[in-house]
Copies of this chain bind each other. A is one copy, B any other.
Amino acid sequence: MVTVGFIGFGIMGSPMATNLAKAGFDVVGFNRTPERVGALASVGITLATSIEALVRASDVIITMLPDSPDVESVALGESGVFAHAAPGLLFVDMSTIRPDVAAHLAKEAASRGIDALDAPVSGGEAGAIEGSLSIMAGGSSQAFERARPYFEAMGRTIVHVGPPGSGQTVKAANQLMVAANLQGLAEAVVFLEAYGVDMVPALEVLGGGLASSTVLQRKSTNMLERSFAPGFRLSLFTKDMGIIQAAAREKGVTLLLGSLVAQTIASLVARGDGDLDHSAMIRVVDELSK
């Protein structure tokens, strides 16, 4: 039986690993805070005491971590995955990190005979629990085909978008579009409220025309109720805006809207709203208005 080594049991990683176990894979976990993995024993996920032990037990390693330095440390650190990997290992990072870091990891992996993919996801906690994530993978076609059975246990729209780093590039574009759609919705809601329009029918008719979006369908209730339990935290969203701004600068691409939303999101995090859902972007519009 194939053994999947899974590293990173946060809001996203825990349900993703659970879906792998439910699909019949033998899942071994490693987490910097082992208590979290312990709670997954009920679905048959066991715990390794070190990355070394995890790598020796696994045919594939999947990581789901907060940020680029976390992935670099887990993959390239002295007691990390690559230090203990035998040639032929499949390494799939599903975190959202910098495209250049993903490309660098793929290069390091290749020099050791490891097949690497960057395969970030969209769809949030709900998509992770339902197994309906969108998965955007960068790397070789061969590595993508090897990873497909695992992706199918976690996601619904599974696409190979190009060479190493491409998955992260597409994810960065995804986050930019989500931020644009959220900011547009937030400004529309505050504007309509100021005019005393009936909001429920208004949002219904906006959802029936060219203004419709998944953000409108999923996030307008949070905005109307000013209820911002995460969901997807602004502290992670501001990290993602940093990723796309740096990546755009690198290629000489100017993102006017990208800069604006990066600033509004950063301002919320700076004043202590980092643990709120990203629908809290409406707070900036509220506070700049009467």
Query: How far, in angstroms, from A123 to B123 measured CA to CA in the complex?
Result: 27
B211 touches A195 (CB 8 A): no
A260 touches B255 (CB 8 A): no
Known: A192-B170, A204-B157, A205-B170. A288 touches B180 (CB 8 A): no
Residues of B within 8 A of A257 (CB): 180, 183-184, 187, 257, 260-261
A85 to chain B, nearest CB (A): 28
A140 at interface (Cβ–Cβ under 8 A)?
Answer: no
Query: How far, in angstroms, from A121 to B210 measured CA to CA in the complex?
Result: 10
Selected contact of A258 from candidates B121, B174, B187, B209, CB within 8 Å: B187
Selected contact of A162 from candidates B172, B184, B196, B248, CB within 8 Å: B196
Known: A184-B176, A204-B157, A256-B260. A251 touches B209 (CB 8 A): no
B210 touches A290 (CB 8 A): no
Q: List 26 A-B contacts (CB under 8 A).
A: A121-B209, A122-B206, A122-B211, A134-B206, A157-B204, A161-B198, A169-B192, A170-B192, A170-B197, A170-B202, A170-B206, A173-B202, A174-B188, A176-B187, A177-B188, A181-B211, A183-B257, A184-B184, A191-B244, A191-B253, A195-B247, A254-B285, A255-B285, A256-B288, A257-B260, A260-B260
